[in-house]
């Protein structure tokens, strides 16, 4: 089953860093995942997120307001 991963953020440097880290982890681990970027503020707020960036996996907000390490992202995506 393909994981759905969304990076929520308006395009700030931290949002771009999180997106790149997630894409790197997905590629390095060979995960079956679809990564997308959500930058519309209304869509972001619909997730109850007030501080970006945020990481959403299969519609569950796992991280918000910070950029996790690549190791942490790996752990989150594999659990």
**Residues belonging to the active site:** 12, 15
What is the C-alpha to C-alpha distance for residues 52 and 16, in angstroms, rounded to an integer?
11
Classify the C-alpha dihedral 67-73-75-77 as positive or negative: positive
What is the C-alpha to C-alpha distance for residues 62 and 73, in angstroms, rounded to an integer?
10
């Amino acid at each position: 089953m393909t994981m759905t991963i969304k990076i929520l953020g308006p395009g700030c440097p931290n949002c771009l860093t999180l997106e790149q880290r997630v894409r790197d982890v997905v590629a390095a681990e060979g995960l079956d995942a679809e990564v997308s970027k959500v930058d519309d503020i209304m869509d972001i707020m619909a997730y109850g997120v007030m501080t970006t960036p945020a990481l959403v996996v299969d519609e569950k907000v796992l991280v918000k307001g910070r950029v996790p390490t690549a190791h942490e992202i790996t752990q989150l995506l594999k659990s």
